Structure 1
Amino acid sequence: MACDKLRVVGNNGDAINKFKQYLHKCFHMKDLGRLKYFLGVEVAQSSKEIFLCQQKYALDIITEAGSLAAKPAATPCEENHWLAFVVGPVISDPSMYRRLIGRLMYLCFTRPDLTYSVHVLSQFMQNPRTEHWHAALRVVRYLKGHPGQGILLPKENDLQLDGWCHSDWAGCLLMRRSLTGWFIQFGTAPISWKTQKQQMVFASSAEAEYRSMARQPGN
């Protein structure tokens, strides 16, 4: 069995060295030193913080979409969009749309600001229309303005776990389901985020908000 890449992390240097020596005895492997790049994620480390981003991956998406010369967009999606009801023609090559959305999904690993937009666009993978494609390209143009944005993980923080949640009542215009979004921080470092539809239809925004709170990780 071949293993392409392996990360070893911890706060005990001696234990890490012993583990790597053990791995060297068991497998033919090469130690590449401090982590700098792993599965499309760029890692910049210092004594005070770790910064994670996917700048190269984002630039590859922009290049593949042909948007290098496009004007950057200020936001990843339009406010009060009606993408669920568009009636434009189905694009000739749906696989092109699916590939772009799949790549944007992976980019959400270090880009919480894309979570809602990608959640909406991923609902039209079966029969994407021209308007859906243009909306996806808007996300790409937004990336063009911020390709190196990522996550900062500081060494020093107050070790306080904070969470925020919100519900867009009846945000799904087709099913009238509400959309739940949550964002969790450990100190000042973001560690978890997600946007998804609620499983039930609620009659009021208050019910949807309570459900959003109950569905947060750890609840």
Structure 2
Amino acid sequence: MNTVRVLLSVATNNAWSLLQMDVKNTFLHGELEEEVYMKLPQGDNMSKINVFKQYLNNKFPIKDLGNLKYFLGIEMTHSHKGFFLNQQKYVIDILHEANMIDCKPARTPLDSNLKLKTYRDVIPNIRYYQKMVGKLIYLTITYPDISHAISLVSQFMHSSTVDHLKIVHRALHYLKGSVGRGIIMRNISHTCISGYIDANWAGNSLDRKSTTGFCIFVGGNLVSWKSKKQSVVARSSTVAEYRVMASTACELIGSNTFCWT
């Protein structure tokens, strides 16, 4: 999805048209034994695009869906200013499934005074917990503000406790008050890449590991972010920050490679 968001930002900043097609059947011709390349026409030449669509349709049935509006559960509303990505229907479906459609909204996805305990008050229905967390992970595609909370609860998929379930419910309360939010891709007329980092040194109360946090912008639009517990204990805040810088540098290189390609 990072690649998709980079593509959307680049397309928005260059005022490109984004069209969507659907293949009506699967490819039944076996595995390709040769490399296949496609040469894109210069500009936003709609006549050549239509010729290309007809060429594809002659090879196998396709359905022309017109302008990009809905992709992998993500709703995309576009105007002359850019794109707006959201998962409103997905959020409502999750709230219905959790029987929390009428719950009281929360202002934040995570309690700032949260302290995880070491006792094992295991929840009886772990499958429900795993299912909810899995759905919330997919929701982070357009909700970067819940990434840290979901990263935290996803670390306990097989040893979840009542405390972890409370965090999941808190995230759902937050989503109740933020239905319809998402990510805006604006036309800022450049594709410069920038990134911001932070680290929560020894913030995990159970194992004293730090948390990596970064966000990447391409063309002024948010395209990539991460909140993840570091794999080893950092002996100082400086070490924790260096680890974040290394992870962010790798992400920046990947984004830069895509843009230049």
**Same fold, TM-score > 0.5, yes or no:** yes
Contact 2:118–2:206, Cα closer than 8 Å, also in 1: no
Structure 2 gaps of 5+ residues are 1-23, 27-39, 254-261
Separation of aligned partners in 1, 2:106 and 2:183: 21
Q: Which residue of 2 aligns with 1:145?
A: 177
TM-score, normalising length: structure 1: 0.89
In 2, Cα distance between equivalents of 1:118 and 1:110: 13
Contact 2:212 2:230 in 1 (8 A): yes
Report whether the alignment pairs 1:108 with 2:140. yes
For 1:209 and 1:192, the matched residues in 2 are separated by: 18
**What amino acid maps onto 2:96 in structure 1?**
T
Query: In the TM superposition, what is the alpha-carbon distance from 1:15 to its structure 2 partner?
Result: 4.1
1:42-121 alignment, distance < 5 Å = 42-83=75-116, 85-87=117-119, 89-121=121-153
Contact 2:209 2:231 in 1 (8 A): yes
Q: Does 1:160 align with 2:192?
A: yes
Q: Secondary structure at the match of 1:30?
A: strand
- CA shift, 1:124, in A, is 1.1
Which residue number corresponds to residue 52 of structure 2?
Answer: 19
Deviations 1:77-133 (A, max 9, x none): 1113223x2536322211100010000000001111011000001011102112211
Per the alignment, do residues 26 and 141 of structure 1 end up closer, same or farther by CA in structure 2, a change over 3 Å counting?
A: same
Is the 1:157–1:188 Cα contact (8 Å) retained in structure 2?
no
SS at match of 2:252: coil
> In structure 2, how many angstroms separate the alpha carbons of the residues matched to 1:138 and 1:203?
32
Structure 1: unaligned runs, 5 residues or longer: 4-8
Identity %: 40
Residue 62 of structure 1: how far off its partner (Å): 1.1
Structure possessing the higher radius of gyration over alpha carbons: 2
For 2:178 and 2:47, the matched residues in 1 are separated by: 39
Say if 1:110 and 1:150, in contact at 8 Å, map to a contact too.
Answer: yes
Whichever residue aligns with residue 123 of structure 1, its letter is Q
Structure with greater contact order relative to length (CA < 8 Å, sep ≥ 6): 2
Paired AA for residue 2 in structure 1: N
User: Could you tell which deviates more after superposition, 142-151 or 152-161?
Assistant: 152-161
The 5 Å alignment of 1:166-177 reads 166-177=198-209
Q: Which amino acid aligns with 1:139?
A: A
CA-based RMSD of the aligned residues comes to 2.2
1:182 maps to which residue?
214
Distance in 2 between residues matched to 1:146 and 1:72, nearest whole Å: 8
Could you tell me how far apart the structure 1 residues matched to 2:47 and 2:237 are? 54
- 2:252 maps to 218
State the one-letter code of the partner of 1:162: S
Q: 1:158-194: CA deviations, max 9, x gaps? A: 4322210000001223332211000011233101101
Say if 1:70 and 1:141, in contact at 8 Å, map to a contact too. yes
SS at 1:33's partner residue? strand
Kept in 1, the 8 Å contact 2:216–2:252? The answer is no
Among candidates 25, 31, 35, match of residue 2 of structure 1: 25
Q: TM-score, normalised by structure 2?
A: 0.76
Separation (CA, whole Å) in 2 of partners of 1:71 and 1:140 = 10
Aligned to 2:74: 41
